[in-house]
Amino acid sequence: MRVRLPAGRLMDVALVASAQTVNLASVLLITRMYAPDAFGRFAALFAVAAIVGGLAPLRLDVAMTTETDAESPALIRAARTLSVTFGVVCAAVAAAAQSAAPAAGGFRPVECVLLGTTVAAMGLAATHTYAGIRRRRYRAIGVAKLANAVIQVVVLAAVGLAYPTAETLLLGATAGYGLAAAVLRTSPSGAAPRAEVRRALARHRRYVAATLPASILNSFALYLPILVATAAEGPAVVATLTLALRVGALPSALMGQSLMPILLGEISHRLRTSPASAVRRYDRALAALAVTGCVAVSSLCAVLYVGSDRLLGPEWTGVGTTLLVLAPMLIGQFAVTPLTHLLATSGGAGAQLSWDAARLLLAAACFGPAASGATSFQVCLLLYSLSMLVAYTAHALLSRRSLGTYRPPPSGERPAGLVDAAARP
């Protein structure tokens, strides 16, 4: 699909690309300064923070993007309050778990605090990002992503010289998301009083009930491999898996984050103006992404398989093999991720929820034998990778069918979910 970028959008894309380039630099820094055990412990902690932090605003940040100017200040304040509250509760729960079973090797005191602050920072960053989307502040969003990446590298390098630990890695994540939230911080005109916040929460409880289950399923499906590896294998395997996922996702993050708003705009515009041509646009975009993904991911896998010890260091030789095992899933992710939002956009919210549930069940079935010790984790990881390729293919077919049967809503109504899936994997 040929898409023309306005001149002003080229800088926005360049900022996102720069952020991903800095993320690549952070990967190289981590492998040289931090031992696999430290990175593995951080990966397990970050998985918990990402799940809780992603759910903390209860999707009110997303709801705010399509609300009126009078309603959005209350939703922003509610989402901020929820993010901080979830962070405090997460830190308290971690501390309580450590106090209840100190011999189990649970959370360390500093980790409890950093876990809570990371949750709060992630929730605040998401809230302000959606506020930026509402106000079409795409340049500011790009700057925030770049600031997030840069400050993480600075913290990991500066503090890691003396303390190359999991706590330092978690501190870098907290600083990154916190700075991104500060860059995007929006102070709506007329701060909403608490009574307005309560009324806004009451008015949106059905929206939360309708959208939160899919978000929960999506979060657990995304981080399930890391959670299983943490429970069944230990920090070294978690580190190798997380680094492979992070490196393997770079091509998708670089292109997907840049193209997602453009593809959303183009195909959504077709849905409104010429629904019959939306499927053709979708097919062309999917085909182009699939071919590009095969080339990009295969090339990356080949380079890391041959030279992971030289590029990342001798302690990380397993990353190349793990990345090769994950290649089918990464190709499917590259091709489908920029288009996943279109299923909900075209009226398939129920199908999206069913797909999320099926994907989580499929992942759980693949890792069940590893968790019980019946087979090796690597075999389960291969089954997971192949099953996720099947899942992404199913999502593409569901989206195509939903686009083909879509009918524009009556005048004055808008299809739900235009931006709800912007953060989906």
Give the whole-angstrom CA distance, residue 144 versus residue 177. 9
Burial class of residue 47 in the structure, from the number of CB atoms within 10 Å of its CB (0-12 exposed, 13-18 middle, 19+ buried): buried
Of the spans 52-66, 109-123, 130-144, 264-278, which averages the highest pLDDT? 109-123
Domain end, chosen from 203, 234, 262, is at: 203
331 band by pLDDT with thresholds 50, 70 and 90: very high
Residue 141 has pLDDT above 50, yes or no: yes
Q: Is the same domain home to 113 and 27?
A: yes
Q: Which are the contacts of 1, defined by CB distance < 8 A and separation ≥ 6?
A: 263, 266, 281, 284, 285, 288
pLDDT of residue 413: 45
pLDDT of residue 230: 87
Q: What is the largest CA-CA distance in the chain?
A: 63
> What does pLDDT average to over the chain?
82
pLDDT in tens, 179-198: 999 998 865 544 566 667 77
Q: Please say whether the beta carbons of 119 and 49 come within 8 A.
A: yes
What is the percent of the chain where pLDDT is above 90? 35
104 band by pLDDT with thresholds 50, 70 and 90: very low
Q: Is the same domain home to 9 and 54?
A: yes
Q: Is the same domain home to 62 and 138?
A: yes
Residue 267 has pLDDT above 70, yes or no: yes
Of the spans 79-88, 311-320, 401-410, which averages the highest pLDDT? 79-88
Q: Is the same domain home to 174 and 222?
A: no
Q: What is the DSSP letter of 125?
A: H
pLDDT in tens, 146-164: 899 999 999 999 999 899 9
Please report where in the chains the tokens 């299983």 appear, as a residue.
228
**DSSP string for residues in 360-393:** HHHHHHHHHHHHHTSS-HHHHHHHHHHHHHHHHH
Q: Which are the contacts of 80, defined by CB distance < 8 A and separation ≥ 6?
A: 123, 124, 127
Residue 421 has pLDDT above 50, yes or no: no
Residue 321 has pLDDT above 80, yes or no: yes
Give me the mean pLDDT over the 293-306 stretch. 91
- Please list, residue by residue across 228-254, b when 16 or more beta carbons sit within 10 angstroms of its beta carbon and e when fewer do: bbbebbebbbbbbbbbbbbbbbbbbbb
Q: Is the same domain home to 198 and 216?
A: no
Dig out the tokens for 316 from the structure: 């990380």
Q: Which residues constitute the domain of residue 377?
A: 205-425
Q: Is the same domain home to 165 and 229?
A: no
Give the total number of structural domains in the chain: 2
Q: Is the same domain home to 300 and 240?
A: yes
Q: Is the same domain home to 177 and 233?
A: no
Q: Is the same domain home to 179 and 303?
A: no
Q: Is the same domain home to 62 and 145?
A: yes
Least confident of 110-124, 199-213, 321-335, 382-396: 199-213
pLDDT of residue 215: 83
Domain end, chosen from 203, 220, 235, is at: 203
257 band by pLDDT with thresholds 50, 70 and 90: low
Give me the mean pLDDT over the 285-302 stretch. 92
Q: Is the same domain home to 224 and 292?
A: yes
pLDDT of residue 118: 96
Give the whole-angstrom CA distance, residue 350 versus residue 359. 14
Q: Is the same domain home to 196 and 95?
A: yes
Of the spans 76-80, 357-361, 420-424, which averages the highest pLDDT? 357-361
10 band by pLDDT with thresholds 50, 70 and 90: low
